[in-house]
Amino acid sequence: MASLISWTNLNKLESFKELKTLKEGISLKKALKGAGGAKRVAECNIAMGGALTYNYAAKQVDKKTIAVFKKIVKEQQLLEKFASLYNGEVVNTGEKRMVLHHLTRGQLGNKVTADGTDKREFYVAQQKAIAEFASEVHSGKLTNEKGEKYTTVCQIGIGGSDLGPRAMYLALENWAKANNTFKMEAHFISNVDPDDASSVLASIDISKTIFILVSKSGTTLETLTNESFVKDAIKKAGLTVGKHMIAVTSETSPLASNPDYMKAFFMDDYIGGRYSSTSAVGGAVLSLAFGADVFARFLKGAAEEDRLALEKDVTKNPSLMDALIGVYERNILGYPSTAILPYSQALSRFPAHLQQLDMESNGKSVNRFGKKVNYVTGPVIFGEPGTNGQHSFYQLLHQGTNVIPLQFIAFQKNQCGKDVTIQGSTSQKKLSANVVAQIVAFACGKDDENPNKFFEGERPSSLIYGKQLTPESLGALLAHYENKVMFQGFIWNVNSFDQEGVQLGKVLAKTVLSGNMDGALKAFSDLLIK
C-alpha cells in the first residue's frame, strides 16, 4: 500500500486551494437563529463510540465547506494513510518505526508482525499478565512482607507515562467508587523536583504500596532519579524493595530482569508515550486501581471509536470531521489555539493530557521528509474543567482580540449519583445549563451600546456529549482525540509520532550536570545550581 500513497504538503492540494476560497466561514448568528438553528443542531450530530455524540452545529462550516472536506479526504488519501498505519507500514519516518497503539485495543486490519511476534498477540498477552497479577493482589494471594494486602499503587514516570494514565485514573475514580469496582488508591510521581516524590510518599503507607516504574529504555533520567528516591524511602522504612516495585518497560531494558522488581510487564518501540494509555503503561495502574474488567471496558470504548475512524463518509466519522474542522480553523480562518473545556470534574487532567498528545505530535515546522513547511500546523492546546474556567480565562475567550475555537465535553448524569436541589434545580442541571449557555453565548454574542458589555459572538465551538462518563465513554473520548491528531498530521504532512523537540533540553541538561560548559549555559547554571 505504501507505494500507492503520496505524502503531499497541504498547500499543494487542489482541494486546499478551493478551501481557501471559503475564508470567511459561515455566520453562527445566522446559522443558529430560530427554528433553523434547532434544525442545524439536530443535523450536526455524529455518533461516537462509548455512547457519545460529536456535535459541530456551532462550528463555522456548512454543506459547501464539508463538500471540500470530502475532496481533501480523497486527495490527501487520509483513510488510505490510516490503513497504512494500522496494517504495520513504517509511518513514523523520523524514528523508522511502525505506529501500533490501535493494536492494543483491536485488530483493524492485517496481522502485524515485528520482533518475531504477532503484535496483537503480544499486547493481549501483556493485558492478560497484568490482569492475573492484579487479581493476585486484590485477592490477597500476593502480599507484603507482613502478609498484609496492598492498598495503594503509585506510578513513577514522566510525560506519557504520567499524563495519560493519571488523567484516566482521575476520570474513573469516582465512577469506580460508585460502582463498587474501586480496588486500590493510585498516586503518581513524575516531576524530578524532590518535593513531588516527598509529598506523595508522605501521604501513603509505603508498606502497603506497589510502585510501578514506567520507562521504556530503563534510562530516563527523571524517572530513574525518582526510582532512587522511592527505593531509598522503602529501605529506610525497613522494607524489601523487591516486595514493593514492578516495572513496565521494554523486553531489552535493564529493568526487565532486575531483582528489585517482583514483576515486569512489557511495552515496545511502536507506541509513543502520549499514545500509551491503552498499553501496559496505562493497563498496570488502571487494572490495579479498578480491576482488569474495567480496563477491558475502557479498551472496548476505544476500539469502537477506532472502527468509526474507518468510515469513508466524513459526516459519519467524528474524529475525521473534528480534524478537518480544526485544519480549516487553523489554516484558513487563522485561529491560533484551541480550548478543551470538559464540564466534568472527573476530566480535570484530560486537557493536560491533550496538550501533550496534540502539541508533541503536531508541533512541527518541517514535513515528513524534513523540508520546511510554509503553513501553520498544530495549535496551542489548553483548558480547564467548567465551571472553574468560566471564572478564570473565559473573559479572553468571549471578548479578547483572538478568536479561540472551543471544544466542550459534557454529560447528562454525574458519576457519583449524588446531588442536591437548590433554587429549583440540581447541581448537575446547573452544570449542563452552563454548557448550553456558553455555546450559544460564544456563537451569538450580545449587542449592547456599552462597549464593555458588547459581545461580538462568532466564536466557534463543538460539543462531545453523552449520558455519563464511564470506562467505555472514556476510551472512546481518548481514541477520538488520538485519531483526530493523527488525521491532522496526515493533512499537514508532518510526522505525528516522533518528538525531537523534547530531546535537545535533555541533552543540554546532561551537559550542565557534567560541569563541562561555558557561556550562557554556565552563566544560567551559576544562578540556580549551588
- Known catalytic residues are 360, 391, 506
Number of C-beta neighbours around residue 494 at 10 A: 25
CB distance 155 to 188 below 8 Å: yes
Query: What DSSP designation does 58 have?
Result: T
476, three cell numbers: 472512546
User: What is the SS3 assignment for 443-478?
Assistant: HHCECCCCHHHCECCCCCEEEEEECCCCHHHHHHHH
Secondary structure (3-state) at 270: coil
Q: Residue type at 173?
A: E
172, three cell numbers: 474513573
- Rounded CA gap, 171 and 411, in Å? 13
Helices 292-308 and 119-139 meet at what angle, rounded to 10? 150
- Rounded CA gap, 46 and 379, in Å? 24
The stretches of 21-118 forming alpha helices (DSSP H) are 28-31, 34-43, 63-75, 78-86
Backbone angles phi, psi at 169, to 5 degrees: -60, -50
Secondary structure (3-state) at 117: strand
Backbone angles phi, psi at 101, to 5 degrees: -65, -25
Q: Which run of H or E residues covers position 530?
A: none
CB distance 431 to 386 below 8 Å: yes
- Rounded CA gap, 110 and 33, in Å? 48
CB distance 487 to 325 below 8 Å: no
Q: Residue type at 238?
A: G
